[in-house]
Structure 1
Amino acid sequence: MDTEEEKGHASMRLSSTEVDDDGRTKRTGNVVTATTHIITVVVGAGVLALAWAMAQLGWIAGIAVMVMFACITIYTYNLIADCYRYPDPVTGKRNYTYMQAVHAYLGGKMYVFCGLIQYGKLAGVTIGYTITTSTSLVAIRKAICFHKKGHQAYCKFSNNPYMIAFGILQIFLSQIPNFHKLTFISTIAALSSFGYAFIGSGLSLGVLFSGKGETTRLFGIKVGPELSGEEKVWKVFSALGNIAPACSFATVVYDIMDTLKSDPPESIQMKKANVLGITAMTILFLLCGSLGYAAFGDQTPGNILTGFGFYEPHWLVALGNVCIIAHMVGAYQVLAQPLFRIVEMGANLAWPQSTFLNKEYPTKIGFNLNLFKLIWRTIYVIIATIIAMAMPFFNEFLALLGAIGFWPLIVFFPIQMHISQKQIRTLSSKWCVLQMLSLVCFLVSVAAGASSVRGIMENINKYKLFMYKQ
């Protein structure tokens, strides 16, 4: 029989196999699960707006811009992966959030700046997903309406009831304890994202095979009686705002890395996931954008499924929108959980002895309920839903979110952390090249942001608040 001492050693050996080097619960994620999370976040309904972006830029610039920004994001996300641990990418201390990494490498001021951008972007994306979901729900209703009454029928409906229903669903889903519990939802969302992307591409391909494809241009829509030179420039800026952040997942990149097992090193696994995820997404983006543009030419709608470039078969159009909705349901939580967590961590640090903040109540559905989380997360979802109801403009809001997060999160912070980590000398050739890349991307963000704000203001002047119909 084992002695008490031997039992104690056995217990210690068991516990050591259940925790990581930092004492936290052992992680089991790998390259495949990380790639799945990346795809879930990256493939938003914005993929269906890439055909419109291609129409503004034309074949040459459209394809070149997509490939160029994919290469930039692979490079900068690999820099982010190397900064997951500090100071050494393999043996250093883990940074559990993007903000922690910025603080470790760049200091307190940059930490605050990063937090404002990152969590502001997360909040904006959840609003955008609410808009997208309601747009798809309305599109399903319109598809049925057009099928029954004809393509010229009046089939316009308010988005508001659908936004409210989506918000109620997210109130329940927001009680999921943490990011690690989202793999199942993330997998369903990733599969759904491929579903609507391939349906949109397939319908576009059907138009081409039927010989009904519209004329396309090497340099996009021509300036003429229907499009002034000034309007062309603004549309090009907006197109850049749709394309540049297409592979954006910086807001949750460390949450994804924090699911990866520690052997092999997280940075090595994440670099593989970056290449796999972004390459797959770029191919998908090129496919959707090119086929959609080839099908509709200058008349390409802002979203090829909800903008009714297609009417029949109505059931397939509806199915594509069902896939969008399924994806938005999961992706909302993947992006909202880091925002929930940072607020709850801050509250716990401020009031560590609070029963209201810390006491948990067991439930019959498998996880504990916390009153603070219940109330705060519910209030957040309600506010996000109200803002979405006030400004339900798909393309403009999409471009604005892209502009806000693209330069600082995808380019500026990764480059500055890399310079600090590798101690690259100021004004050296590599330093100059990196800063030039940052400057170019900054100008893209400014142009896209200005264009999207202009578009939102025009729509606000055109429609009364909470009275928008599509």
Structure 2
Amino acid sequence: METEGSTYETKYSFRDVAERSAEESAIDDWLPVGPSRRTGKWWYSAVHNITVIVGAGVLGLPYAMAEMGWGPGITFLVISWLVTLYSLWQMVQMHEIAPGKRFDRYHELGQHAFGEKLGLWIVVPQQLIVVVGVDIVYMITGGQCLKKFHHLVCDGCKHIKLTYFIMIFASVNFLLSQLHNFNSIVRVSLAAAVMSVSYSTIAWGASGRRGVQPDVRYGYKSKTTAGRVFDFFSALGSIIFAYGGHNVVMEIQATMPSTPRKPSKEPMWRGAFVAYVVVALCYFPVAVAGYLVFGNEVDENILITLHRPRWLVATANMFVVVHLIGGYQAYAMPVFDMMESLLVMKLKFTATWRLRFVTRNIYVALTMLVAISFPFFGGVLGFIGGFALAPTTYFLPCIIWLCIHKPGRFTISWLINWVCIILGVLLMVIAPIGGLRQIIIQAKTYKFYS
């Protein structure tokens, strides 16, 4: 006689095991995301989420504060933390929302909510813009930090173009991109997570050690009303960018085992919540200390503003480089999965290491080329943050939640989700405007490949 638990187990695994042919199993084993590698621990979730959330965005928070001012800056930081924590919780809960199925990819959840074709077209373009955009920003930031490190340890050395430092950063990613899946990069993510906490601590600690500068000013950076408005929009995008880990949450949770007694959402949420506590301990001190000490003279990257103590700032820049390498790989994994799934399952390429070698190296090369061509850290941060991260992080999970759960009108759940949706749509509309303006202004005086 079959018990309720065994029935659940059978239903839950029928797609993962019973209905897969030998060919499908081989493809699932080869793809980066799939049902064959559910061996993740709760701390895998923690380190992966810290790696993808606490990234280059934290370095731009003092600059965002300078563009917004004390009140709006602190308010929006807190609101963003709460809203994105809530939408992250929703995504974790919805991973196994359908009996007998796990949504291992963000677009699979979208397809369940909106339909096979519409869900694909709603989620995939936005997710790709985010993960590819973040990887480009990481290329830019990695190159900038390597250049800053070189300047600090070898002040009298010959000037080297930023282009070459971006290429050096990319060279490491060419190698690491061959690692198979999230479980393969867990050690890389662990190192990256430790580095992110370390350089965030150095950023606010070194700022505090410098003390408030004698000529510090907290007025708006721009002198004109129009400039202040556009700067405010750009700052919104920069803060949104800092909370961008949702785009790989489903893929991270796909590595978690699940049983009737302990579904994957339990270890996943435990790790994700720990990660968000770490996010708060990194973001708020960096944003407040950086703006308090340097005011509106702070640079787009707080580590560029810091010059002393020289050895500590140099160390922090190398910590950033290590973290960005891990973050690049984590954000690239969904792209690798999409490319390889398309090539093998739709275009019928043979699943070999040669195919993986070629496709992944092409991806790294393309992101490197774009980063070399347009190394505008602040503008790219604001534009991508508003245009793509606002939908996938702030309000798309809420829309999916409403479609699947259908809470009653004017209930607490209905009201909270609609508030998040309205906020996210507004941010998506206004935030990219400031970032695009900043890119245009910087491009006027920029010399390509300098």
Structures share fold, TM-score greater than 0.5: yes
Counterpart-to-counterpart distance in 2, 1:212 and 1:453: 31
In structure 1, what residue type is equivalent to 2:302? I
Counterpart-to-counterpart distance in 1, 2:69 and 2:152: 29
* Residue equivalent to 1:124: 133
Task: Answer whether contact 2:148 2:314 (CA < 8 A) is retained.
Answer: yes
* Residue equivalent to 1:298: 296
Cα separation, partners in 2 of 1:111 and 1:203, compared to 1, 3 Å: same
- TM-superposed CA distance for 1:404, in Å, is 2.5
Q: Does 1:96 pair with 2:104?
A: yes
2:185 aligned residue (164, 182, 186): 182
* Residue equivalent to 1:205: 208
SS at match of 2:302: coil
- TM-superposed CA distance for 1:55, in Å, is 1.8
* Residue equivalent to 2:55: 44
- TM-superposed CA distance for 1:133, in Å, is 0.6
- TM-superposed CA distance for 1:63, in Å, is 1.5
1:258 aligned residue (254, 257, 277): 254
Q: Does 1:330 pair with 2:326?
A: yes
* Residue equivalent to 1:275: 273
- TM-superposed CA distance for 1:380, in Å, is 1.5
Q: Does 1:345 pair with 2:328?
A: no
* Residue equivalent to 2:70: 59
Deviates more, 1:375-384 or 1:93-102: 375-384
* Residue equivalent to 2:83: 72
Task: Answer whether contact 1:86 1:101 (CA < 8 A) is retained.
Answer: no
2:149 aligned residue (140, 150, 153): 140
Cα separation, partners in 2 of 1:350 and 1:298, compared to 1, 3 Å: closer
TM-score, structure 2 as length reference: 0.87
Task: Answer whether contact 1:404 1:449 (CA < 8 A) is retained.
Answer: yes
- TM-superposed CA distance for 1:93, in Å, is 0.9
In structure 1, what residue type is equivalent to 2:398? I
Question: What percent identity do the matched residue pairs reach?
Answer: 26
In structure 1, what residue type is equivalent to 2:303? L
Cα separation, partners in 2 of 1:106 and 1:427, compared to 1, 3 Å: farther
Counterpart-to-counterpart distance in 2, 1:78 and 1:278: 11
Unpaired stretches in structure 2, ≥5 consecutive residues: 1-8, 18-34
Counterpart-to-counterpart distance in 2, 1:394 and 1:165: 18
Unpaired stretches in structure 1, ≥5 consecutive residues: 1-15, 150-154, 361-369
SS at match of 1:404: helix
* Residue equivalent to 1:405: 388
After superposition, what is the alpha-carbon deviation per residue over 1:291-337, rounded to whole angstroms, capped at 9, x for unaligned?
1111101211111112xx22222221111110011111111111111
CA RMSD of aligned residues (A): 2.3
Task: Answer whether contact 1:133 1:324 (CA < 8 A) is retained.
Answer: yes
Task: Answer whether contact 1:179 1:338 (CA < 8 A) is retained.
Answer: no
* Residue equivalent to 1:84: 95
Counterpart-to-counterpart distance in 2, 1:20 and 1:166: 41
- TM-superposed CA distance for 1:343, in Å, is 1.0
- TM-superposed CA distance for 1:428, in Å, is 6.9
Task: Answer whether contact 1:174 1:377 (CA < 8 A) is retained.
Answer: yes
Counterpart-to-counterpart distance in 2, 1:222 and 1:341: 44
- TM-superposed CA distance for 1:86, in Å, is 3.5
**Number of aligned positions between the proteins:** 419
- TM-superposed CA distance for 1:30, in Å, is 2.8
After superposition, what is the alpha-carbon deviation per residue over 1:351-400, rounded to whole angstroms, capped at 9, x for unaligned?
44x4xx22x4xxxxxxxxx1111111111211111111110011111112
* Residue equivalent to 1:365: none
Counterpart-to-counterpart distance in 1, 2:250 and 2:398: 16
SS at match of 1:312: coil
In structure 2, what residue type is equivalent to 1:52? Y
SS at match of 1:244: helix
